[in-house]
Structure 1
Amino acid sequence: MTPHELSTWPRSLPREIDIPPTNLCANLLVSATRYPDRPVLVDDFGSLSYTELVEQVERIAAFLQNDLGVQPGDRVLIYLQNGRGWVAAYYAILRINAVVVPVNPMNKREELPHYLSDTDAVVAFCGADNVAEMLAVPAAQQLRRVIVVGNPGPAETQPEPVNEPARTQARTIGLRRVLAAASGHATPLAHLPDALALILYSSGSTGAPKGCMHTHRTLTASTVIVAHWMGLVPHSVQLVALPYFHITGMQNLLNAPIYGGGTLLLMQRWNREQAAELIARHRVSHWTAMPTMVIDFLASPRLAEYDLSSVRRVGGGGAGMPEAVGERLKALTGLDFLEGYGLSETAHVSGNPPAAFKRQCLGVPLFNTDLRIIDPDTLGELPPGEVGEIVMAGPQVFTGYWRNEESTRAATLMMDGKRFVRSGDLGRRDEEGYFFIVDRLKRMVNASGFKVWPAEVEAMLHEHPAIAEACVIAAMDPYRGETVKAVVVLRDALAGRVREADIIEWSKNRMAAYKYPRLVEFVVELPKSATGKIAWRQLQDSEREKTLRATA
């Protein structure tokens, strides 16, 4: 079903939009021309105007091109925490048609070699707090320079000494020195829409991470789609609490707001009290968040102290928003949590119309996007109501995996003359064209032949007044083969007052006999990825190891 067939499509929006065939950096340059003095970002060190950011981007681009010989198509790593240095480096790399390779700054030296060797990176931007990790990797010797980014000081252009560790040929130079020493200008901006712009590595839950290739055209498509759908206009203020190395942070919280001429309000790390204070002080209009972040935010006992009335839109994805949590958010702010959906391979592909919102729903296909449900075995399209694999086609989907044609072929298929990407997610479509996620294709509990989707059980567990967070996994059962286990974080006020048996009995009264958790384990916190998603696979693997030890 295409957007043309949706009766709930917002009347104020066109059904399709044109995608400019430009370099992604052009969005920053255009907004800077229109709003030169407007803050493009605000952080702990003050504000930075659009004009000031463009000046930094041009200086860095000139240094990369003239001093380091970076050519179009060369790969450049960004191994940084969110910050103004990340933003400036990102647009500078794109400005000269080199390729951005974001790396999770939480990665340690054992995890870095793959990013260096797989991409043959020539330069890396590295945080001052993790430069030692980078320089300890033998493959870092291939780098022409490691540009070290620290906190901005009172004299941003003061030079820093060059540090050349004896153990490595990779040389370091501080970003302040780059900004001060850059000579000449970068070549005029070349618009090469189909040139590679980004290699975004997947989480690598099975095997080595795979690099998703995005061009300027695919990223621009996602940028324009998100900006129009979210209503990002020049005076929008976006709270940034998700990492830029992730597709959601990069598109929803960087490229799309800058395309619209808005302001980025950067948080170095998530803190619920600081988030509430920033929303009130800077009159935040848009907040994109993970459900786990909203759960933590709503648990703050101090929310009544802050004026949150400026927020016009709250939404996100990555995991389903429990209905009970969504209702608490609505009671506090008057806003629904507008869930959307996308992958590293596809960026943003669906969203909920604000005026026709459905809870625990991925929404409808966005502009120019085709979503379908197929049988994962036969690859045939399934009718509304049936569960199958979600696949998507559109101008924002990736061109393939870097140097991995086999994985690219496995992840894509042709239907009706369109190239679709297989998500690996199980979902269904209702009669109105809304999509719902059921679970990961391989995440399922098979209890005596009955299939249990963990996300469904988790959503119900969140309705329990004592449960703050829950993750459902499969546990081995000598009779049923597998049984449902819930790993639970209790609310602080009720910790120690609720027993595992209480949760099981409560669930038994609300869920089918094959579905309710037979086992409950209380933990202080659930493991999470850097983007805030609950690391269910880590819990599942731990449970399997525990079973193997017990039966050995």
Structure 2
Amino acid sequence: MFDRHHAVWPENVPYTLTLPRTSLYENLEISARRYPDRAAIIYYDRELSYKTLDAEVNRLAGFLQAKGVVAGDRVLLFMQNAPQFVIAYYAILRADAVVVPVNPMNQSPELAHYIDDTEATVAICGQERFEAMAPWVAAGRITTCVVAAYNDYIDPDTDLDLPAEVAAPAAELSQPGAVAWAEALSAGHAPGPHAAQSDDLAVLPYSSGTTGAPKGCMHTHASVTATMVNGLVWTRSHPEGLTLGTLPLFHVTGMQNSMNSPIYAGSTVVLMTRWDRLTAARLIERYRINRWTNIVTMVIDMLADPAIESFDLSSLEHLSGGGAAMPEAVSDKLFALTGLRYVEGYGLSETIAATHLNPPDAPKKQCLGVPLFDVDSRIIDPETTNELGVGEVGEIITHGPQVQTGYWRRPEANAASYLALDGKRFFRTGDLGYYDDEGYFFIVDRVKRMINASGYKVWPAEVESMMFNHPEIREACVISQPDARRGEKVKACVVLAADAAATPETIREWCREQMAAYKVPSVIKICEALPRSPTGKIQWRQLQEAEWADTAPADA
């Protein structure tokens, strides 16, 4: 067991935790019984109490079961941050089914994979995304789609700036199979007894590797509970806390820190649908928010506004996140403004958020932190799998209660992603890093080809696969390009078919119609040919290394 970091462990915090065996829904039920009148969610100035939240969860769960959802079924959740996301998430769990959170930036062609892979026939989506889901409803692939209008849950008298999708009132639905949110809740169906156990499958977030389509990460109620409880204990959270929810809830970091953990604690989340730096500052000041987990680019953006110093942010007690290394100059500016050091962490979809966090009282800059409760992380040589020592760069592997049980229906990926060491099953993260003499871990590179653009994970193989559907593209190789603001951006090197008339601009426009905006290549380079190995494989690494050697960070 790796224990070098115990010397910097927070005072009066145990090295190991006995985790609850309740289901995720039971956590909400218990908090609703303990704090029925406390605000679970504040959404553009409207409060939703724990009692009301639990009641609406049960009504939606009853509707889902009336539509044929049974234990173990997968249900797609295709929505931006809103109270309805939280209600839908817990309603699916209340029905003993499995939540499949789908990035709402996905376009209609991308949804096919999630529908096929999970065999889901029921979906819940925001009305602004129903256009992408509608073809699958019309085709009968999705038999029931509950459609939510975010405007239904705001305070109509709020003075906060509203994103367009939040300001939009509920639209009429005429397509068969589409059901308005209000209609689903008012249908009067009560759910059957809740039977899910802690080892049952609960959430199936999707990740990807260097090849193939995105893969479902199988997380049980127990694995989700691990990072949820770990974070609360590590950061000394309490029921009186108020959390600012700016990270997307479909993503594991937002899901855990801005929804599941506060609900378990019985505290309040002040939720935003879209990031807006001045709205965030107003909410911190208005509600005296004390906890905020974010991505580094949000902090950079907020501090870039000259008006930020006019807001009272003194209520903040804890700032944490990741997505990219926190620049030292920004960290220092943040400390001068709030008196807080930014606590960076490290986790994956495969670990349902953090396996490593910096000690709140002893954080290091641009550092992943130390392994959390009952987490055993090592550094190995990625080729030989021999364990490495202090300061030696190798692949980070990890073992702990939050590690997924495996990839959904991917036996080959499971065989390649785990190894046995000292009698334990370790997950191979694909990230290259090292640890120092105090046990703090640092990342230096990626074994996998993942591109990290402002915290969004872009998988080149997935983008390449979609680009090959363009009638005038013969070959495509996707790599990252350094970017001063986003960290990395997507670049596609493309070889056109004979007599093709496509340009970088027309290809980019086509990509916008086929894939989520964050996946669309910012740079498209038309090439005569792509470098190949003696066996004919495209040498993406050669292109990648040349790009980072030759390209200075750009202010794009």
TM-score normalised to the size of structure 2? Answer: 0.78
Among 342, 347, 367, the residue aligned to 2:347: 342
Are residues 390 and 550 of structure 1, via their aligned partners in 2, closer, same or farther at CA, if it must alter by over 3 Å? closer
Conserved? CA contact 1:163–1:171, under 8 Å = no
Q: Does 1:87 align with 2:93?
A: no
The residue number in structure 2 matching 1:422 is 428
Are residues 144 and 182 of structure 1, via their aligned partners in 2, closer, same or farther at CA, if it must alter by over 3 Å? farther
The residue number in structure 1 matching 2:460 is none
Q: Distance in 2 between matches of 1:28 and 1:107?
A: 29
Conserved? CA contact 1:352–1:363, under 8 Å = yes
Identity of aligned residues (%): 48
The residue number in structure 2 matching 1:271 is 276
The residue number in structure 1 matching 2:361 is 355
Matches within 5 A, 1:441-460: 441-442=447-448
Cα drift, residue 223 of structure 1: 1.2
What SS does the aligned partner of 2:243 have? Answer: strand
The residue number in structure 2 matching 1:199 is 204
One-letter amino acid of the structure 2 residue matched with residue 247 of structure 1: V
What SS does the aligned partner of 1:28 have? Answer: helix
The residue number in structure 2 matching 1:112 is 111
Are residues 489 and 406 of structure 1, via their aligned partners in 2, closer, same or farther at CA, if it must alter by over 3 Å? closer
The residue number in structure 1 matching 2:315 is 310
Matches within 5 A, 1:333-412: 333-347=338-352, 348-412=354-418
Cα drift, residue 151 of structure 1: 2.6
Matches within 5 A, 1:520-531: none
Q: Distance in 1 between matches of 2:117 and 2:99?
A: 14
Cα drift, residue 154 of structure 1: 8.2
Conserved? CA contact 2:137–2:144, under 8 Å = no
What SS does the aligned partner of 2:150 have? Answer: coil
Q: Distance in 2 between matches of 1:39 and 1:4?
A: 41
Conserved? CA contact 2:4–2:439, under 8 Å = no
The residue number in structure 1 matching 2:534 is none
Q: Does 1:262 align with 2:267?
A: yes
Q: Distance in 2 between matches of 1:338 and 1:161?
A: 42
Cα drift, residue 323 of structure 1: 1.4
The residue number in structure 2 matching 1:121 is 120
Are residues 49 and 205 of structure 1, via their aligned partners in 2, closer, same or farther at CA, if it must alter by over 3 Å? farther
Q: Does 1:413 align with 2:412?
A: no
Q: Distance in 1 between matches of 2:154 and 2:364?
A: 50
The residue number in structure 1 matching 2:10 is 10
Q: Distance in 2 between matches of 1:440 and 1:25?
A: 36
Q: Distance in 1 between matches of 2:24 and 2:395?
A: 32
Q: Does 1:214 align with 2:219?
A: yes
Figure out how many residues of one structure are paired with residues of the other and give that number. 461
RMSD: 2.8
Cα drift, residue 232 of structure 1: 2.2
The residue number in structure 2 matching 1:242 is 247
Q: Distance in 1 between matches of 2:141 and 2:263?
A: 33
Q: Distance in 2 between matches of 1:231 and 1:413?
A: 34
Cα drift, residue 131 of structure 1: 1.0
Are residues 139 and 424 of structure 1, via their aligned partners in 2, closer, same or farther at CA, if it must alter by over 3 Å? farther
Cα drift, residue 49 of structure 1: 0.3
Among 325, 328, 334, the residue aligned to 1:323: 328
Structure 1 unaligned regions, length at least 5: 445-453, 459-483, 491-533
One-letter amino acid of the structure 2 residue matched with residue 225 of structure 1: N
Q: Distance in 2 between matches of 1:536 and 1:55?
A: 38
Cα drift, residue 188 of structure 1: 2.1
Conserved? CA contact 1:116–1:139, under 8 Å = no
What SS does the aligned partner of 2:205 have? Answer: strand
Q: Distance in 1 between matches of 2:72 and 2:132?
A: 26
The residue number in structure 2 matching 1:527 is none
One-letter amino acid of the structure 2 residue matched with residue 47 of structure 1: E
One-letter amino acid of the structure 2 residue matched with residue 55 of structure 1: A
Are residues 149 and 387 of structure 1, via their aligned partners in 2, closer, same or farther at CA, if it must alter by over 3 Å? same
The residue number in structure 1 matching 2:34 is 34
Q: Could you list the per-position Cα deviations for residues 111-138 of structure 1 after superposition, in whole angstroms to 9, with x for gaps in the alignment?
A: 1100111111021001111212111137
Cα drift, residue 4 of structure 1: 7.8
Q: Distance in 1 between matches of 2:359 and 2:328?
A: 17
One-letter amino acid of the structure 1 residue matched with residue 25 of structure 2: C
Q: Could you list the per-position Cα deviations for residues 261-281 of structure 1 after superposition, in whole angstroms to 9, with x for gaps in the alignment?
A: 111111111011111111111
The residue number in structure 1 matching 2:47 is 47
Cα drift, residue 392 of structure 1: 0.6
What SS does the aligned partner of 1:436 have? Answer: strand
What SS does the aligned partner of 1:6 have? Answer: helix
Are residues 377 and 47 of structure 1, via their aligned partners in 2, closer, same or farther at CA, if it must alter by over 3 Å? same
Cα drift, residue 485 of structure 1: 7.5
Conserved? CA contact 1:196–1:214, under 8 Å = yes
Are residues 230 and 75 of structure 1, via their aligned partners in 2, closer, same or farther at CA, if it must alter by over 3 Å? same
The residue number in structure 2 matching 1:469 is none
Q: Could you list the per-position Cα deviations for residues 124-167 of structure 1 after superposition, in whole angstroms to 9, with x for gaps in the alignment?
A: 001111212111137851323110111353899xxx998453xx
Conserved? CA contact 2:43–2:153, under 8 Å = no
Conserved? CA contact 2:209–2:449, under 8 Å = no
What SS does the aligned partner of 1:259 have? Answer: helix
Q: Does 1:77 align with 2:76?
A: yes
The residue number in structure 2 matching 1:438 is 444
Q: Could you list the per-position Cα deviations for residues 152-205 of structure 1 after superposition, in whole angstroms to 9, with x for gaps in the alignment?
A: 53899xxx998453xxxx60111111111122x212222411111111111566
Q: Distance in 2 between matches of 1:214 and 1:195?
A: 8
Are residues 96 and 489 of structure 1, via their aligned partners in 2, closer, same or farther at CA, if it must alter by over 3 Å? closer
What SS does the aligned partner of 1:137 have? Answer: helix
Cα drift, residue 110 of structure 1: 1.2
Conserved? CA contact 1:113–1:139, under 8 Å = no
Are residues 319 and 536 of structure 1, via their aligned partners in 2, closer, same or farther at CA, if it must alter by over 3 Å? farther
Are residues 392 and 538 of structure 1, via their aligned partners in 2, closer, same or farther at CA, if it must alter by over 3 Å? farther
Q: Distance in 1 between matches of 2:388 and 2:138?
A: 47
Conserved? CA contact 1:3–1:9, under 8 Å = no
Are residues 163 and 205 of structure 1, via their aligned partners in 2, closer, same or farther at CA, if it must alter by over 3 Å? farther
The residue number in structure 2 matching 1:19 is 19
Conserved? CA contact 1:244–1:250, under 8 Å = yes
Q: Distance in 1 between matches of 2:260 and 2:153?
A: 28
Q: Could you list the per-position Cα deviations for residues 421-462 of structure 1 after superposition, in whole angstroms to 9, with x for gaps in the alignment?
A: 111111001111110111212569xxxxxxxxx99xx9xxxx
What SS does the aligned partner of 1:100 have? Answer: strand
Structure 2 unaligned regions, length at least 5: 156-169, 454-479, 487-516, 532-556
Cα drift, residue 32 of structure 1: 1.0
Q: Could you list the per-position Cα deviations for residues 337-385 of structure 1 after superposition, in whole angstroms to 9, with x for gaps in the alignment?
A: 1000000001210101122211111111001111111110011110010
The residue number in structure 1 matching 2:477 is none
Are residues 309 and 154 of structure 1, via their aligned partners in 2, closer, same or farther at CA, if it must alter by over 3 Å? closer
Are residues 270 and 206 of structure 1, via their aligned partners in 2, closer, same or farther at CA, if it must alter by over 3 Å? farther
The residue number in structure 2 matching 1:59 is 59
Among 221, 224, 228, the residue aligned to 2:229: 224
What SS does the aligned partner of 1:173 have? Answer: strand
One-letter amino acid of the structure 1 residue matched with residue 367 of structure 2: C
Conserved? CA contact 2:44–2:154, under 8 Å = no
Q: Distance in 2 between matches of 1:47 and 1:209?
A: 36
Q: Larger relative contact order (C-alpha < 8 A, sep ≥ 6)? A: 2
Are residues 56 and 3 of structure 1, via their aligned partners in 2, closer, same or farther at CA, if it must alter by over 3 Å? farther
Q: Distance in 1 between matches of 2:255 and 2:248?
A: 8
One-letter amino acid of the structure 2 residue matched with residue 195 of structure 1: D
